[in-house]
Chain A
Amino acid sequence: MRILVVEDEKKVASFIKKGLEEDYYSVDVALDGKDGSRLALSEEYDLIILDIMLPFIDGISILKNIRNEKNPTPVLMLTAKDNVEDKVLGLDAGADDYLSKPFAFDELLARVRALLRRNSTEKRAILAAGDLELDTQTHKAFRGGTEIQLTPREYAILEYLLRNKNRVISRTLLSEHVYDYHFDSDTNVIDVYINKLRNKIDKGFYNPILQTVRGVGYIIKDN
């Protein structure tokens, strides 16, 4: 899952990035409103964490721009102010949630997870397909009750495919959502990770969960 953090205070942006990366998210950081607006409109993100007070373009304006472009990416607003008006302003501009500074990091992570499953019918923190389960909170994967050890990259790919269950995901789309902006995304690398992942989750099982759609990409089906 790829997340954009727009926050002008370098250190705040930095620890949010680090913390999210520890949870297997790939994170891009924008330190001002201009950068944030550009990235939000040009790149594919699964979630945007947006500070309200930013240099050049404020968070509310960025949010309005995104929503005017019919971009439905969930947005979590960060605000240093704690008054109702600001929260109302943010939510009405199209934010999905807000968090007041200083916040607990665990709460930030929980809200990120909640926002990521907003469009899913599965409201638990567990993603599943057939007898494969992925706990997004503990980052543990199980196939038929047996725990599978995953690397962060494998976890990220599996999470994205599970969140987009029954949809064919192209290599490009997959690499966009699994790597951050600075990664030179070579789609061949995706194939390598897919193979490793397939070995871990499908090897020895009659029904392969992760399937290749030749010439298009990959799919996880719920059967």
Chain B
Amino acid sequence: MISKIKKYLKTTRFKTTLWYSLVFLLLEVVMGILIYTYLNQSMNKELDQSLIKQAEMIFHFVKEGEFKLSDFEPDSIYSSPAELVYDLIYEAVAFNPANTFVQVGYKNKTIFRTANLSDYEIKAKTTKENKTVLFTFADSLLSNDYIKAAYLKKDGYEIIVAFPSSLINQTLNSLINLYTIIAPIFFLLSLAGGSIISFRALFRIDKIINKTEKITTENLDEMIDGGNFEDEYGRLVKTMNTMIKRIKTSIEYMNQFSISVSHELKTPLTILRGEIELALKSPKTPEEYHEILESNYEETLRLINIIERLFYLSKLENSQINIEKLPTNIRTFLQPIVKSFLLLAEAKKMNLIFDFQNLDETIIKIDPSLFRIAVSNLIDNAIKFGDENSDVIIKCYREPENKFSIEFINFGEAIPEEILPKLFDRFYRAEYSRNRKMGGMGLGLSIVKSIIDIHEGKINVENAPNRAIIFRITI
């Protein structure tokens, strides 16, 4: 259970959702602060303006009733100037008497206070004439919050209108309260929503993972679904499918390679094992032992040769051999190679003919050491599989588009047509070479093909009339 949770906490789904929700929360907080600041400012501004307005209104009305005030005599209606002022301003200005403090002074004497002030004297610090001034003060007798006030001194009157800021604070507080409740709820909602969205988005990833987990070397034919979508997932699936195909090809190649290697090694090993077992079975004469050892030595050399060729071939195919193409005069390059085979041809009473067709100055760009191996292999094969008393012809000629061909022609039993295209295929070699008594030929031909491939050339083989077999290199 705990490990499951731990695992979940590591998933992209969780991380994405968490980040997304945290960003959401941060935005929420920033917005809250902005709203709070704006509200705070605008409410204070509005209060200030209304205080100024009220102070001016009160002055206006009191001023109008100045004649009554200046020589005030108590009568049946107003027993004190305060009552008169109260009447003057109450009629004119609608304010909340419970919260608004009003104090009116006349000629340095306070003549009116609202009831909520009782005997309290609001003291304005400034004494600027004819101008309404705003100030703030705090007194726990009047209010727990600080009090905002407007003060107007004009024509001997001192008007003070004050209002506690508690209302603003209350509004702002309830805003904060609202936020503290709403923010976590929104956070949770965004977590849930984000989780659902990311689940849907990452569901296909899960599918890809599950499918990929099931693919082993045994079922590389299977593909991951969803490659037909054009989005990132589609691309991912396509990429992975191509990768699976590549793996499949190289595994098949490796399997084929090991089959062909083991097949190639089996014949010498069969001989070695059989001869040695036979030698151990019963006593032999020294001559017989000598013969067996000689044969064993031969087979050991054959094994070494096979392994070297295989190693060389795999090196070639992995292009680990650095190719160094040099401009080479084809005649001076080919002639010594052909000459080196004269003795071998003589042993089979063959004529080795080098037909150069006046191409003395032909230069081709090749890697001489690699190309020598290819040419030697082809001449060697031509002699090995040609009839006795026949010709082996090495013929060079120009092709269109600045290309050049070398043909290796011998005369002998035709190679079956169905085998021709597979002749350079390393994996096909085993059966064919054995069937045709061409041991060792196949591997040589696949080396030749690899070399020609590296030179970006072409090699092909065909049966021609009069029992001629032609191997042709074109570069």
A199–chain B nearest beta-carbon distance, Å: 27
**With the chains together, A216 CA to B456 CA distance in Å?**
76
Contact A105 B278, CB 8 Å, known A53-B434, A54-B435, A80-B263: yes
**Inter-subunit contact A12/B271 (CB<8 Å):** yes
**With the chains together, A49 CA to B274 CA distance in Å?**
15
Question: Which residue on A lies nearest to B437, using beta carbons?
Answer: A55
Question: Which residue on B lies nearest to A109, using beta carbons?
Answer: B281
Question: Which residue on A lies nearest to B265, using beta carbons?
Answer: A102
Chain A residues 44 to 81 lying within 8 A of chain B, measured CB to CB, are: 53-56, 58, 80-81
Partner of B267, one of A12, A58, A104: A12
Q: Is B295 an interface residue (CB 8 A)?
A: yes
Partner of B266, one of A8, A55, A101: A101
Q: Is B467 an interface residue (CB 8 A)?
A: no
Partner of A55, one of B269, B281, B436: B436
Q: Give A21-44 as 1s and 0s: 1 = Cβ < 8 Å from B's Cβ atoms.
A: 010000000001000000000000
**Inter-subunit contact B281/A8 (CB<8 Å):** no
* Contact-size category for A: 20 to 34
A159–chain B nearest beta-carbon distance, Å: 19
Partner of B270, one of A56, A103, A106: A103
**Inter-subunit contact A53/B431 (CB<8 Å):** yes
Note all chain B residues with C-beta closer than 8 A to A102: 266, 269-270, 272-274
Chain B residues 413 to 441 lying within 8 A of chain A, measured CB to CB, are: 430-431, 434-437
Q: Give B268-300 as 1s and 0s: 1 = Cβ < 8 Å from A's Cβ atoms.
A: 011111110110011000000000000100010
**Inter-subunit contact B275/A8 (CB<8 Å):** no
Chain A residues 79 to 133 lying within 8 A of chain B, measured CB to CB, are: 80-81, 101-106
Note all chain B residues with C-beta closer than 8 A to A101: 266-267, 269-270
Q: Give B368-385 as 1s and 0s: 1 = Cβ < 8 Å from A's Cβ atoms.
A: 000000000000000000
Note all chain A residues with C-beta closer than 8 A to B278: 15, 18-19, 22, 105
Name the residue among A15, A16, A53 with the largest chain B CB count within 10 angstroms. Answer: A15
Note all chain A residues with C-beta closer than 8 A to B430: 80
Q: Is A9 an interface residue (CB 8 A)?
A: yes
Question: Which residue on B lies nearest to A57, using beta carbons?
Answer: B435
A196–chain B nearest beta-carbon distance, Å: 23
Chain B interface SS verdict (over half) = helix
Partner of A15, one of B269, B271, B431, B434: B271
Q: Is A11 an interface residue (CB 8 A)?
A: yes
Note all chain B residues with C-beta closer than 8 A to A103: 270, 273-274
**Inter-subunit contact B269/A81 (CB<8 Å):** no
Question: Which residue on A lies nearest to B282, using beta carbons?
Answer: A22
**Inter-subunit contact B274/A80 (CB<8 Å):** no
Contact A9 B277, CB 8 Å, known A53-B434, A53-B435, A102-B266: no
A139–chain B nearest beta-carbon distance, Å: 11
Chain B residues 226 to 276 lying within 8 A of chain A, measured CB to CB, are: 263, 266-267, 269-275
**With the chains together, A15 CA to B267 CA distance in Å?**
13
Contact A15 B274, CB 8 Å, known A9-B267, A80-B266, A105-B281: yes
Note all chain A residues with C-beta closer than 8 A to B272: 102
A16–chain B nearest beta-carbon distance, Å: 7
**With the chains together, A30 CA to B274 CA distance in Å?**
18
Name the residue among B269, B282, B435, B436 with the largest chain A CB count within 10 angstroms. Answer: B435
**Inter-subunit contact B281/A12 (CB<8 Å):** no
Note all chain B residues with C-beta closer than 8 A to A16: 274
**With the chains together, A105 CA to B281 CA distance in Å?**
9
**With the chains together, A32 CA to B263 CA distance in Å?**
19
Note all chain A residues with C-beta closer than 8 A to B437: 8, 32, 55
**Inter-subunit contact A9/B436 (CB<8 Å):** no
**Inter-subunit contact B266/A106 (CB<8 Å):** no
**Inter-subunit contact A105/B263 (CB<8 Å):** no
**With the chains together, A54 CA to B275 CA distance in Å?**
21
Note all chain A residues with C-beta closer than 8 A to B282: 22
Contact residues of A with B, CB < 8 Å? 8-9, 11-12, 15-16, 18-19, 22, 32, 53-56, 58, 80-81, 101-106
Q: What 5 A-B pairs come out closest when comparing CB atoms?
A: A102-B270, A105-B277, A101-B270, A15-B274, A102-B269
Contact residues of B with A, CB < 8 Å? 263, 266-267, 269-275, 277-278, 281-282, 295, 299, 430-431, 434-437
Other contacts beyond A11-B299, A55-B437, A103-B270: 14, CB < 8 A: A9-B270, A9-B271, A11-B295, A15-B274, A15-B278, A19-B274, A22-B278, A22-B281, A80-B430, A81-B263, A101-B266, A101-B267, A105-B274, A106-B277
